[in-house]
Amino acid sequence: MARPRILHCITVYNGRAFVPAAIESAIRMDQTHAQIDVLVLDDASPEPGWSEELAEFCRERDVMYYRTPRNLGIPRNVSLGMLTAVKRGYDYVVISNSDVLYPRDLMGQMLEVSRQPGVGSVTAWSNNVSIYSLPNEDPNRFLHDQGVVDWVHAGLAGHFGNAAMDIPAGISFCILISTDVVREVGIMDPCFGRGYCEETDWSLRSLAAGYRVALAPGTYVFHHGRGSNLDAGIVSLNATTVPGNEAIIDLRYPLFRQQVDAFVQSGVLSRAHEDAIRKLVISAGRQFGYGIDVGWVARDRSDESQVIVQFSPDAVQGEVVASFRGFRLPMKLTSGGLGAQIRSVFGAEPSVLNLFDRGSVAESLSAEFASVARPGFGNYPATI
């Protein structure tokens, strides 16, 4: 069976600080399951010298590059990619932002989901993908690393496999669409001007045509978020959308907001979040090890090489939370045998027990893990 051909389109507007990393990440993607050609669509970036620099960067890496004669805005630039994929006989088109990092095996997983019955488009999962975002304390700090992206993706792929989550609308930060669907549904509507909400409109048109709009929970793409849109002035620093474009969606699809609310209230997304974070944190603890902190205040750590389990000192207040690279997993433990319960979760002894405050939990864990205990009490009474 011949490999499907995918045109992977990266839309660009300025972005000297992050675009090269996205392109490098794209060209390293595994091509076992598909032939992937990368096309960079530069929407007339105004930053002096950047378009020339980007064109040379792409030429050196055998990446296709096109600069529009004038700024078209996101919907028209995206449509260029969709039409190019159709015209050149590709089987799929990927529309992607340029402030992203892709895992090596992304397309293998996305294609598996796209082959589910009735699926017309597949959105990758991410730390920044509208309401579907995988919760993380500070993704730009903890997840903006190619090795970490590959690891998170592999963990989610192993847990969720080729599952397809039906969602109200796709997000074109990284979306895979069959060109057969493009032929039937069409391209992005240029009425959305410089951008925002055009993929919502396209998704709802595809739903009306009988196609499923899917999220692939077995994938992970890092997304910084709004990089080019801030540069272009489409949104302000504290804004996340364009009100005028939202009004078009409300006029065309008056039931859409209710459908989004019903999806959120269904619990499907929250359960997926919980499952994903549990899988990632426990896998990290078993693979990289874990330490225990006992204290009233969680310590900020520069070392994210292992999981940290945070206990309050007396078990009366606070919760037990295991954290790894910004993912936080609340742990439900019973009052007795805390050490045994932690061992059963992670399958090993902790590498360190940091005792920052006194209390019954501190005493109990210190007795169980005496060999790795590190008292760090300050010169103040146990009770104030």
Q: How far is the first Cα of the chain from the last one, in angstroms, to the nearest whole number?
A: 72
Residues 201-220 have pLDDT tens digits of 999 999 999 999 999 999 99
Residues 51-76 have pLDDT tens digits of 999 999 999 999 999 999 999 999 99
Give φ, ψ of 357 to 5 degrees: -145, 155
Q: Which two tokens stand for residue 245?
A: 């474009």
Measured over the CA atoms of residue 231, residue 233, residue 236 and residue 241, the dihedral's sign is negative
Provide the 3-class DSSP secondary structure of residue 242.
Answer: coil
* Rg of the chain in Å (alpha carbons): 24
Residue 381: pLDDT band by 50, 70, 90 thresholds? Answer: low
Residues 125-161 have pLDDT tens digits of 999 999 999 999 999 999 999 999 999 999 999 999 9
* pLDDT at residue 379 in the model: 46
The residue among 252, 175, 275, 250 whose CA lies nearest residue 216 is 175
Q: Which two tokens stand for residue 219?
A: 């994938």
**φ/ψ bin of 226: left (φ > 0), alpha (ψ from -120 to 50), beta (otherwise):** left
**Alpha-carbon distance 58 to 192, whole Å?**
29
Provide the 3-class DSSP secondary structure of residue 272.
Answer: helix
Residues 164-197 have pLDDT tens digits of 999 999 999 999 999 999 999 999 999 999 999 9
Residue 232: pLDDT band by 50, 70, 90 thresholds? Answer: very low
What's the pTM?
A: 0.92
**What string of DSSP letters covers 67-80?**
E-SS---HHHHHHH
Give φ, ψ of 275 to 5 degrees: -60, -45
**Alpha-carbon distance 194 to 96, whole Å?**
16
Judge whether 337 and 368 are in contact, CB under 8 Å.
no
**What string of DSSP letters covers 325-376?**
TTEEEEE---SS-HHHHHHHHHSS--S-EEE-S-SHHHHHHHHHTGGGEEE-
Strand partners, 309: 292, 322
Give φ, ψ of 160 to 5 degrees: -95, -20
The DSSP letter of residue 220 is E
**Alpha-carbon distance 112 to 160, whole Å?**
12
Distances (CA, A) of 67 to 44, 51, 72, 360: 6, 8, 10, 65
Judge whether 323 and 310 are in contact, CB under 8 Å.
yes
